Amino acid sequence: MASSSLIVPLAFWVNLPTAPITTVAYKEGHIVTGLEDGHIWIYRCIIDEQGAPQLQHKILCLGHKSSITALTIIEGQTDGCAGNDYVLISASKDGDVNKWCLLDGRCLTSISKAFCGIIKSLKPLAEYSQPAKFLLCSGFSNEITILNCTTLELVRIWGGHNDWVACTPFYDSDARQIRLLTSNFNGILKIWAFDESNHINKEYDNVGLLEAQGDKILELISNPYDIGVILAITRSYAITFTIRRGKMVNFQRIRTSKEGIYWASGAFLSKNRMLLWNQMGNAYLYSIPSFTEKKIPTENAHLHIKPGLIRRSSLPNLQKSNVEKMPNSAQLRPQLLETVCSDNESLAITTVFALSSIDGKASNLYLITFRNQINGTSFAFKTLSPMAQESGICENNYNVRELKWPPETYLSDIWQLNHKNDNITVTTMVYDVYLATGYENGEIHLVPLSMALTQSAEIQNSTSIPNSIHKLEGHIGKVTCLYTPNSQNFGHEYLLSGGEDCSVRIWNLEGKQLASFKYHSQSVTHFFEPPSDECQRLKRCVISVAKDNSLAIISLEGLSCLYVFGGYPYPLNKIQWRNSEGFIILFYNDDTAHMWQTQTLELYQKVTGSAARDMLKDASWRTSSVEQQEFVINKTLTSVTDNSDGGKTFLQIFTINIKQLINDIYHYHVSQIGSKSNCTRTIEDFDEKPSVSKIFSWTTGGALQSSSVTSTSPSIEPETKAIDASTVQVLISTLMTWGIDSSLDKLCAEKLGLKKSSNRITFGLRGANGNMAFAVPSPNDSAAIWKISQTMTASLLLSIVGLTRSFLSMKGLEKYTSELITHYGSLLPELVGKEYYHSSLAFHAKYFQDPLEDIRISARTLFSSALNNMPSSELTSIIDYWKQFLPAVASPGIYNNQYMARSTILLGMIGADYPNYLSQTVARNIALSLVLLLHDSSKLSHRLAALELCGRGFSTWEPHFDAVAVLKTLFTFAIETDTNAATIRAMAQKAIFQISTVNTPLCISTLTHDTNDSKKPTEKSGFLKLISIFIRKRPILLHSNLSGLVEAVVKSLDPNIPKMRDTVLQTTTSVLHDLVKTFPSVTFHGGSQKLAIGTLEGASIIYDLRTATRLHILEGHTKSVTAITFSGDGRLIVSCSLEEGTVRVWNPNPGLLGMIAGSLTNGNGGNGNGTSRKTPLLSSIRTSKTFAFNLGEDARLSVASILESVYFEWVADRTVKLHVKDSIMSFNV
């Protein structure tokens, strides 16, 4: 069964990740910076109690592999939760575009090579007040790429431009719609129309020429507060102009204040205010004229155009001449009002934003500038004067206000962890057992992983080192790289280190240096392994690479250096192995190839250009990358390092496959005494049951299951060892939140043996394309992780609860499970406070049908808990968001099937438990969507969820869909004979039982009807088996419809359809046996092959099973028949009605009339094919004896009591006892 993965990344923060800032964006209290190394920082920007803005690290996003070139923040909810209204879109130098959640940094979607060139601008394109549908990507290219804002799928490549082109959407007042304005580098303006069919049409070819005295047009910015006003940025000029009737008017240029200082960008603050800033961070506030009288509301999204602010209702009267609205000539020029300058001449990245005061009553405009300096990146805030928010045009004699930037603060100064004394340069995980840490002084510490993740801060700052830590000494100067080769290939476990001293050293895990080599002339940067199957001599070898691009091939078997290849000015890209010819070819980034002879170690030939590229393309030879590959020894726990370009480690990242870890716990550390097939259990018992305690043997002997937990027959990989018990314990410790609830901390420490994790460890999210986002350490706020986003809360909760269920079962401590679930599911919101983010319902819905029991139950428990604790306003917001994706109303061409299925499951779960929150329209759409999902065979988990929700919420959906048709579909799944459909069959049966509880007559009557109408023997047999399950598991539900059901079972034995009878005979016999055994109102006589059933109407019906027909109707009781029985010889029938208080005796001897009726009944008629018969003639028999009794209140029994405690017992040929609970009555008949 396919299922969602649950892979949790943890970050061990070694050093503050820093790199030069390349771009910045702002929205809703968040400042985002893109870095030169591809990292993205999300900062929280707040106003402190003194009214000053403060910057706080919040989220680090990892995913881009090259410099960030553009950022934009647009509206777009990610899971429908209130407050989660914006997404961040980033572009990097290599053309990749990623979409991230602004709250938690989770990567939502990613597209590679979206742009042929370098993206410098990301502009959302929307219609009026609607959220953006498209994204315009432009920059250093003669093409513009248009992407879908939701999926980032490529919509159109807009080519045909003769030069690099800038683009912006703007509101065309003449056409009354959004148009696109483009300018090539030479300033030629054109207007285009982009319609819903994704066609681009040129509307105006010669709008005007932006004359900038040879400067290239770098950016176009539309004024969201004034119609048709545009700002164009060049290096020396900022140009404002207006588009009217397809022409450029009111052209104005603003030159930079100083030669050699260039404009960086600008923003419109209001209709009459514009802010420009240059590359040094100096900002200039201008008053600009307006050509519209209608005031357009302001909004703090001035960094990006928001066409929705310009509505039809706010348009001027376009029939009137624009001249009437022109300001006078003296006011046409932009007027400088205010400057903010700095004496620091370092390049700066600047932006402007609005931020509310701490009481939320006032909002001010602020500037922030980031400056990349030698000692790191600094920043400074500056508050703009109230003049920046005023409207109107200032007088010409206005005195310019000159302000200065305040002193700058380094980003490292606001970092909450003190790492100044650590001097850590590099880390790596060593075979899941140790964390190796290299220092600037050349030392390497081999720390047990359990100690590193829980006590690292104490270890690093301690003068004495515990005995369990191995101290490796040998390098002179800082350690630059660490590597652990694949022990399965080498037979032994080694640690390799490279240093600033140009040496390579080999260590064993006891800390002993085995060998040392010094064949490089610069510091060693990394290691990698050559293909071991390519050459016998290369087996058990590792290659070291130095900063000067020199290589050394080192044999770990002989502890010797086999080859050394000299340095080269350009980085090494690929290695081609031509061992049969005796050559190794090194390919460099400048399209140069060096052919080295392996025997003589001489440079045989140097090839450049196309010839080198052709050699690289030759597929007949093995080619390998030279990047360091982290060796994965266990699929449950993997580790990678996040390093700077200089080799300094920022983060040691651990990724935990939670579901695989649960598999490890249950399958590889379990003794022969107990076992648990947790991940593959088929749903048979229809009700979730708690797992039982098992006895575990903590050895590392067993084989490791494949990392895929979606298969019911997991593969075995005996060469991979199971994860160590202590590692499991430390991983759970790192997931726990410490310092919020002292009683829980005590429980975890004293009862569960867990240890408080290091304050260097933080939780993260793994998103699209494997991209990750990590919360920053918050040593002063233990609850900080719960204040980030709904998804962050949900992911951490599911990991903790799901894993601890397994862990506690493993340790025999199941009794503490409820305490943990109560804490994290119910008490946590109150402990954290008002800033707590409730768990994401959409996240838990993904695991609604997970094959892992611990994950499935945990997800459902947390879903219910979140639903119960969530404010009604937030729940309404979720419903309003997800209802648009329901398959009944959404188009597959707009939303993908996965999203539509998730919306159906999520809203179906809400509707099943909280139907009052759904409007009739939404409930109807959910019901219809569930029907569509029932018939969707593309994903098993979706169908399973639809089956369950149809049953759970049947009372909600019944008025909105064809209930009979749905029941028939469920019956089809419930009687499926394919062995591969066991899970579907069980879930369908469970849903049928739930529906039968809600509407018993509908369910049983439909089942009876379908059983009667079934023409296929296999189908008939399936329906009979379903009836048998009802008899055994839900007999009470059949009581009111028993007579019709019995007749349907009897008719399946019709001898006139021999093939049907032969096929279902055994199944029917089993069903009849269950009926007689379960219901006292049904009896059978084997000798005469007769079956009798007492009805609720008071009559009893006798069937002849040989002919599958009715023989007699026994009429006499005026109330329902409670019990019935045949005498031993079958001549007499005794029946009882507790409600009537009588026992009646019948002699069903048919006599002459009966025999004649029987002969008529048993004959064939109709067309002679045995499928059409005459209506049987029945005899109605009266009572031969009647006995009255009075049990008083004891006779008023429930159906359950009747089935359990009422029955006849024959003690002699003509003596029968009636048992009614504790009462026994004897009758001589």
Q: What is the mean pLDDT of residues 549-564?
A: 88
Q: What is the mean pLDDT of residues 978-1006?
A: 89
Q: Among 173, 122, 171, 150, which Cα is nearest to 308's?
A: 171
Instruction: Tell me the two tokens of residue 207.
Output: 């709008």
Backbone angles phi, psi at 207, to 5 degrees: -75, -35
- Cα separation of 1147 and 232, whole Å? 106
Tell whether 610 is covered by a domain: no
Q: Helix, strand or coil for residue 1127?
A: coil
Intra-chain end-to-end CA distance of the chain, in Å: 61
- Cα separation of 1146 and 1136, whole Å? 11
Backbone angles phi, psi at 1204, to 5 degrees: -90, -35
State the pLDDT at residue 424: 83
Q: Among 158, 150, 156, which Cα is nearest to 133's?
A: 150
CA 1114 to chain CA centroid, nearest Å: 64
Q: What is the mean pLDDT of residues 444-452?
A: 85
Q: Over 90: is that where the pLDDT of 640 sits?
A: no
State the pLDDT at residue 369: 94
CA 586 to chain CA centroid, nearest Å: 42
Percent of the chain beyond pLDDT 70? 84
Using a 10 angstrom Cβ sphere, with 0-12 exposed, 13-18 middle and 19 or more buried, the burial of residue 137 is: buried
Overall domain count for the chain: 2
pLDDT tens figures, 1057-1073: 888 888 899 999 999 99
pLDDT: is 919 or 602 the higher one? 919
Query: Listing from the earlier edge strand, what are the strands of the sheet with 1142-1146?
Result: 1123-1126, 1133-1137, 1142-1146, 1185-1188
Q: What is the mean pLDDT of residues 34-63?
A: 92
Contacting residues for 854 by C-beta, under 8 A, at least 6 apart:
662, 678, 691, 802, 803, 805, 806
Q: Give the least confident one: 336-350, 532-546, 854-868.
A: 532-546
- In this structure, the number of other CB atoms found within 10 A of the CB of residue 770 comes to 13
DSSP state of 1053: T
| DSSP character string of 1058-1090 | HHHHHHHHHHHHHHHHHHHHH-TTEEEETTTTE
Q: What is the mean pLDDT of residues 556-561?
A: 87
Question: SS3 letters for 166-190?
Answer: EEEEEEECCCCEEEEEEEECCCEEE
Q: Which of 160-174, 422-436, 869-883, 952-966 has the highest mean pLDDT?
A: 952-966
pLDDT tens figures, 1153-1212: 444 444 444 444 444 343 334 344 455 677 889 999 998 888 889 999 999 999 999 999
pLDDT tens figures, 368-411: 999 999 888 999 999 988 887 777 666 666 688 899 999 999 99
pLDDT tens figures, 452-502: 787 644 554 455 567 778 899 999 999 999 998 877 667 788 999 999 999
Backbone angles phi, psi at 285, to 5 degrees: -95, 130
Q: What is the CATH number of the domain that holds 118?
A: 2.130.10.10
Q: Over 90: is that where the pLDDT of 420 sits?
A: no
- Cα separation of 11 and 655, whole Å? 9
Of the residues 283, 305, 332, the one at which a domain ends? 332
Q: For the whole model, what pTM was predicted?
A: 0.81
Q: Is residue 75 within 8 Å of 132, Cβ to Cβ?
A: yes
Instruction: Tell me the two tokens of residue 679.
Output: 């991940």
Q: Helix, strand or coil for residue 682?
A: coil
Backbone angles phi, psi at 994, to 5 degrees: -65, -40
pLDDT tens figures, 225-245: 888 899 999 999 999 999 988
Contacting residues for 180 by C-beta, under 8 A, at least 6 apart:
125, 136, 167, 168, 169, 170, 191, 192, 193, 194, 200
Q: What is the mean pLDDT of residues 1019-1029?
A: 91
- Cα separation of 983 and 990, whole Å? 11
State the pLDDT at residue 326: 41
Can you count the helices (H) and strands (E) in the chain? 25, 65
Q: Is residue 600 within 8 Å of 628, Cβ to Cβ?
A: no
Backbone angles phi, psi at 659, to 5 degrees: -70, -35
State the pLDDT at residue 308: 36
Distances 284 to 164, 234, 305, 367 between C-alpha atoms, Å? 28, 16, 20, 11
Tell whether 936 is covered by a domain: no
Q: Is residue 1084 within 8 Å of 1090, Cβ to Cβ?
A: yes
State the pLDDT at residue 815: 77
pLDDT tens figures, 704-732: 223 333 333 333 333 445 566 677 788 88
Q: Helix, strand or coil for residue 541?
A: strand
Q: Give the least confident one: 262-271, 557-566, 1109-1118.
A: 557-566
Q: Over 90: is that where the pLDDT of 98 sits?
A: yes
| Average pLDDT, rounded, for the chain | 82
Question: SS3 letters for 797-862?
Answer: HHHHHHHHHHHHHHCCCHHHHHHHHHHHHHHHHHHHCCCCCCCCHHHHHCCCCCCCHHHHHHHHHH
Instruction: Tell me the two tokens of residue 645.
Output: 């370009």
pLDDT band, very low/low/confident/very high, at 772 (cuts 50, 70, 90): very high
- Cα separation of 1188 and 1190, whole Å? 7
State the pLDDT at residue 1160: 45
- Cα separation of 662 and 679, whole Å? 9
- Cα separation of 1163 and 1173, whole Å? 8
Tell whether 794 is covered by a domain: no
- Amino acid letter, 447: V
State the pLDDT at residue 417: 82
- Cα separation of 556 and 490, whole Å? 8
State the pLDDT at residue 479: 92
Q: Is residue 826 within 8 Å of 869, Cβ to Cβ?
A: yes
Q: Is residue 206 within 8 Å of 243, Cβ to Cβ?
A: no
Tell whether 76 is covered by a domain: yes
Tell whether 1108 is covered by a domain: yes
Instruction: Tell me the two tokens of residue 776.
Output: 């920053």
Contacting residues for 1172 by C-beta, under 8 A, at least 6 apart:
1165, 1166
Q: Over 50: is that where the pLDDT of 297 sits?
A: no
pLDDT tens figures, 728-761: 788 888 888 888 888 888 888 888 888 888 888 9
Distances 720 to 539, 701, 702, 704 between C-alpha atoms, Å? 20, 10, 9, 6
- Cα separation of 24 and 40, whole Å? 10
Q: Give the least confident one: 242-256, 306-320, 839-853, 959-973.
A: 306-320
Q: Helix, strand or coil for residue 1100?
A: strand
The range of the structural domain enclosing residue 213 comes to 7-271+292-332
Q: Over 70: is that where the pLDDT of 111 sits?
A: yes
Q: Is residue 80 within 8 Å of 880, Cβ to Cβ?
A: yes
Measured over the CA atoms of residue 825, residue 827, residue 828 and residue 833, the dihedral's sign is: positive
H-helix or E-strand spanning residue 1028 = helix 1017-1033
Tell whether 497 is covered by a domain: no
Q: Over 80: is that where the pLDDT of 989 sits?
A: yes
CA 1092 to chain CA centroid, nearest Å: 58
Tell whether 1161 is covered by a domain: yes
- Cα separation of 237 and 264, whole Å? 10
Q: Over 50: is that where the pLDDT of 841 sits?
A: yes
State the pLDDT at residue 459: 52
Tell whether 441 is covered by a domain: no
pLDDT band, very low/low/confident/very high, at 81 (cuts 50, 70, 90): low
pLDDT band, very low/low/confident/very high, at 1227 (cuts 50, 70, 90): very high
Q: Over 80: is that where the pLDDT of 919 sits?
A: yes
Q: Over 70: is that where the pLDDT of 669 sits?
A: no
Q: What is the mean pLDDT of residues 245-250?
A: 88
Residue 632 pairs in a beta bridge with none
Distances 313 to 128, 310, 638, 699 between C-alpha atoms, Å? 11, 8, 58, 74
Q: Among 613, 611, 610, 633, which Cα is nearest to 623's?
A: 613
State the pLDDT at residue 1121: 95
State the pLDDT at residue 763: 93
